[in-house]
Amino acid sequence: MPQMSPLMWFSLFIMFSIVLILFNQMNFFSFKPAPIKSAEKGTVMTKNLTWKW
């Protein structure tokens, strides 16, 4: 079996890298997160902490 030339390895690496990036982008952008439902809109929930040193 003949050996692959360095340019052939490089083109194979570029092809697999592009496929990997496109696959990851498709998986990332196909996910639609559910909106966060809060009790009252327009208010920020804060929790006061009392520090005991």
pLDDT at position 38:
64
Q: What's the residue count for the chain?
A: 53
pLDDT at position 13:
94
pLDDT at position 42:
59
CA distance linking residue 18 with residue 26, whole number of Å: 12
CA distance linking residue 47 with residue 30, whole number of Å: 35
pTM: 0.53
pLDDT-flagged residues of the chain (< 70): 1-2, 38-45
pLDDT at position 1:
47
10: left (phi > 0), else alpha (psi -120 to 50), else beta?
alpha
